[in-house]
Structure 1
Amino acid sequence: MATDAGFFSGWLQKLRQGWQRPAEPLDAAETAGTTTGGGSEQEPVVVWEAANRMEAQIVQGRLESEGIPAIIRGEALGTIYGLTTGELAASKVLVPAPLAERARSILAEESAWDEGDDGRADV
């Protein structure tokens, strides 16, 4: 199938002519509201630095069980290659800024583990 090369060059020229740069560059405060869904008060805050993605998933699950939305940020290569140690394996757990203090207090609490019950039935 042959294409007309003149069509694409003419189309690109029309595209360039129609596109204009903004008169003044936007500052970070203006763009934050439009690109992330909120201002700086809604920006994610790091509440936990995990050694690896597995640890971060446990922390994320703990926070989400308390009703706090959490996301994990880390290097993709660590996940792809299954790394569990080192800088590429490290992950961070982030929550919305208004919930950061509550999240930190939840993570600081000690979990009550019943060490006598291992989940197996006595035979």
Structure 2
Amino acid sequence: MAINLKTLIHVSPFSDIDREKMLSKIDSLNEDQKIHISEVCWKLLSFKYYTQLQFMIDEYLDEVQTGQKKYNLNDVTEIEARCIHDYAQKLQVAETEGSIEEVRTQLEKFKTHSLPQDKTVSTSLTPKP
């Protein structure tokens, strides 16, 4: 994996105290402990990512409902792409399709809840008349 554990710890939503404790002990951890911390980091990042993505989609749908924008499924796809790209940048990953796809795969792997767009073309994404 191109994304190292120190980077994951730095960008994960831990308190500064917890982050410093983990980073100070990282060299003394065995592989199982490192894998466990990595999985916790990805779960936290995944939750944060999908929460942010849902917020951005809800914001867009509010604009559609108020008539500020016309509904376009491509807009939702663009929001998803922009959000995943932001996370790839936060993880200081080189801006390549492979690394962005790797971040997307890891976020999907640790996804904790489904979103409306997970159900092909969901009715919740269709603007209300």
Higher gyration radius (CA): 1
Shorter-chain TM-score range: under 0.3
TM-score (norm 1): 0.24
Q: Higher relative contact order by CA 8 Å / sep ≥ 6: 1 or 2?
A: 2
TM-score (norm 2): 0.23
| Structure with the bigger percentage of strand | 1
| Structure with the bigger percentage of helix | 2
